[in-house]
Chains A and B, each alone.
Chain A
């Protein structure tokens, strides 16, 4: 499973989401989208969301730290 967490440096919900994934032993990549406008613009277009965290799980997007949705997509 390919999991990416898109974040900004000052976003508490991003930290909560990453803590949650770590606790459940899910490997993920963190991408700070405040550093790269191109990545941010592309992500906003692909996901339809402006706001972090955005969690991408095998090309499906979860907006915000929505524990239930994340669990469902990860079969936890």
Chain B
């Protein structure tokens, strides 16, 4: 059996692509490790049209419900290898092999690491990359949030309700996240903000006790029990790095039709070079990718 399209990933981009492709009558399969992608790690979503306020988990469940409306193959699995032979893509998981005429990459991104001493050693011992998961464990504790984008600001805001003191360590001169969030943090007495600050070391005994950073070439040390690392994401593009064009950030380069450098591979969401990594943008680009794949298939059949 040869599918019209295989969609890899089931975050907002992959799910929207699947919905559009299914409605076009395309024979598709969706292969993904999870449903919802990074949405599930977001505590509250307030900028997805139609929902003034919805939790990430709930939004992911809504996506899943939408996915279930259609009768196509969904496999919870990890793709291990992709090959192209005579215009047919061969997609391998650990147990199975799929074939398709086109491919929609919606593989998203994973949290970026700081790569500083102590980070690995203290992972799950105070260092965390999932504020929604672990923030409740820092009740009345002192914590540091590393980063200055929306993820960092949202994590900090969530922590203002739980922790005793929140230090925000940002390596640029201003926050890159939304003003509506940074305004709230700047007014909060529990929050202390350090801009132009480079985090350099995490240390402790059994658990995290101290964080070191440099500000104006001086080393500062703060006592913290938790370190929330929210410094952006690395695109999941290893599967295709050898046969389509990636940019310097390892994002898949796409045109306005979400088409990559291979005419049969489309890509959408955070794994691509689209400028803003937002749920609504990922979803929109997923729709474009599916429609473009449909057009590609129609043309190549003629």
Contacts and interface: CB of A to CB of B under 8 A. Distances in A.
B133 A11 contact: yes
Nearest to B162: A34
Q: What is the interface residue range for chain A against chain B?
A: 20 to 34
Contacts of B126: 50
B226 interface: yes
Contacts of B40: 12
Nearest to A7: B133
B260 interface: no
A63 B125 CA distance: 10
A37 B128 CA distance: 19
Contacts of B135: 8
B124 A64 contact: yes
B133 A52 contact: yes
A11 B130 contact: yes
Interface residues of B, number: 25
Contact of A37 (B36, B124, B139): B139
Interface string B190-206: 00000000000000001
Contacts of B136: 8-10, 33-34
B72 interface: no
Contacts of A33: 136-137
Given A12-B40, A13-B133, A51-B128, A40 B207 contact: no
B137 A44 contact: yes
Nearest to B207: A50
Contacts of A26: none
Given A37-B139, A40-B139, A52-B137, A11 B207 contact: no
B132 interface: yes
Contact of B36 (A8, A12, A50, A64): A12
Nearest to A34: B136
B277 interface: no
A5 interface: no
A8 B55 contact: no
A24 B41 CA distance: 25
A33 B135 CA distance: 11
B125 A10 contact: no
B56 to A, nearest CB: 8
B134 interface: yes
A11 to B, nearest CB: 4
A40 to B, nearest CB: 6
Contacts of B55: 10
Contacts of A74: none
Nearest to A33: B137
Contacts of B132: 10-12
A52 B134 contact: yes
Interface string A1-45: 000000011111111100000000000000001100100100010
A40 B141 CA distance: 13
Interface of B: 34, 36, 40-41, 43, 55-57, 60, 124-126, 128, 130, 132-137, 139-140, 206-207, 226
Given A10-B136, A12-B132, A50-B207, 6 more contacts: A10-B55, A14-B133, A37-B140, A51-B124, A51-B130, A51-B134
| A-B pairs with lowest CB-CB distance, top 8 | A34-B136, A12-B40, A11-B133, A51-B124, A8-B136, A10-B132, A49-B124, A63-B124
